Structure 1
Amino acid sequence: MADILKPKNTNPRGIPEAPFIDKVENVIKNPDKDFESVMQMFQERLQQYKYMELSKQQQLKDLNIKIPDIEKNLDIINYIKEKKEEEEEDDEDEDEEGDGKVIETNYELNDTLYTKASIDVENLNSVYLWLGAEVMLEYPLDEAVELLNERLVKNNEQLTIIKEDLEFLKENITTMEVNTARLYNWDVERRKKLRPTS
């Protein structure tokens, strides 16, 4: 009986595949003794799947915030690099004012608050990046782009994996809900047949 939920297959992350009960009689040999424990095992597995699903949904939500942030940061740094390269090409026109040495921009302080900044492109050679856990480090522009591109690739790979896991969990939750419903209905029918007829 303990082998009922032993997975025959798992997904690449080791999440067990739910068995499908074709015939309840094949699973419960002794109804009076086994039904409650089998039902409890199936309900526990269903709850485990639902807990994993919640965890994966939170990871998905976090990635859906991180990925656009990384893309925004990459866009900004690439724009600065572009302006810097243009500035180096136009170095002969040093006497002209407002020839692209300074970028006037708005930037986000938090979700609802923006402020203005003047960026001296000519003297800007590095940026500061938040690495998480309240850590910020300074990186040269090229290294910052390289780091952000690596993170973007990893996060997109993780996003694909989480979406696969969520699809797998959704299918297995459905299977376990069907299984528990079948077990319950089978037991109701069994009990009706056991009732004495008057």
Structure 2
Amino acid sequence: MAARDTGTMEQNVDIQKHLSVGKNPRGIPTATFIEDVGAFLQTLGGVPVETAIGAFNELYGKCKTLENSLGRVKLSMKAKIPEIEKTLELVHVLEGKQAEGEALTTHYNLADTIYAKAEVACHGRVCLWLGANVMLEYSYEEAKGVLETSLRNAKEKLKTTNEDLEHLKNQTTTIEVNMARLFNYDVKRRKALRQEEGAADKTGGGKGRGNGNPK
């Protein structure tokens, strides 16, 4: 029993190697496109079509899971970038007010839909939220550096995420085409096999009647 299980695992690993032809810069596989279904099945060791379809279906599921995950990352970055830009703009305003020796007049959010007028002294220091429970104080210059770095990183993350989503879209399309080609190949193979069996039955029946003794 153990020997058969080990063999099955090795076969699955071997099949997985033939499902992709490289990876993109973030390690997402590039799916193999099946040109010749018969030849492809031979490279897998002559496995049944159902096994090949199952392997591609598993890869398809992984791609869709990753696509959903990256979709959430994209939404997060699209919300984060404007927030960083607004914060950076505010630091520039504070810096300008400090240079002019003025305070910043603004409206402070006390609660939902409730605001109060406030004056903010521009003394050259500002606090930034770096996480859910982390706030650090910086000089204006330091704050600009932190925000500019965060903005660059967020834009780069959005760019690579869009590239990965486009790559995944292409791979899922390729996998869908591969599974359709495998299925159609199997349908044609079974049809041809039935036709051969039918022809053999007719030939066998004809010979049987011909060998009978005439009365």
By the TM > 0.5 criterion, same fold? yes
Runs of at least 5 residues in structure 2 that lack an aligned partner in the other structure: 1-13, 203-215
1:103 is aligned to 104
1:25 is aligned to 2:25: no
Cα distance change on mapping 1:120 and 1:130 into 2, 3 Å: closer
Are the aligned partners of 1:106 and 1:114 in contact in 2 as well (CA < 8 Å)? no
TM-score normalised over the length of structure 1: 0.81
1:34 is aligned to 48
C-alpha separation between the residues in 2 aligned to 1:107 and 1:27? Answer: 66
State the secondary structure of the residue aligned to 2:77: helix
Runs of at least 5 residues in structure 1 that lack an aligned partner in the other structure: 88-100
How many percent identity over aligned positions? 37
C-alpha separation between the residues in 1 aligned to 2:108 and 2:49? Answer: 62
RMSD over aligned Cα, in angstroms? 2.5
CA offset at residue 181 of structure 1?
A: 1.1
CA offset at residue 185 of structure 1?
A: 1.6
More helix by percentage: 2
C-alpha separation between the residues in 2 aligned to 1:128 and 1:63? Answer: 22
5 Å matches for 1:66-85? 66-85=80-99
CA offset at residue 33 of structure 1?
A: 4.7
The number of equivalent residue pairs is: 182
Are the aligned partners of 2:110 and 2:116 in contact in 1 as well (CA < 8 Å)? no
- For residue 118 of structure 2, what is the amino acid of its counterpart? S
1:180 is aligned to 179
Please say which structure displays the higher CA radius of gyration: 2
C-alpha separation between the residues in 1 aligned to 2:143 and 2:81? Answer: 15
Instruction: Output one character per residue of 1:10-30: Cα deviation in whole Å (capped at 9) or x when no partner.
Output: 111111110000111112249
- For residue 14 of structure 1, what is the amino acid of its counterpart? G
- Tell me which of the two structures has the higher relative contact order, counting C-alpha pairs closer than 8 angstroms and 6 or more residues apart: 1
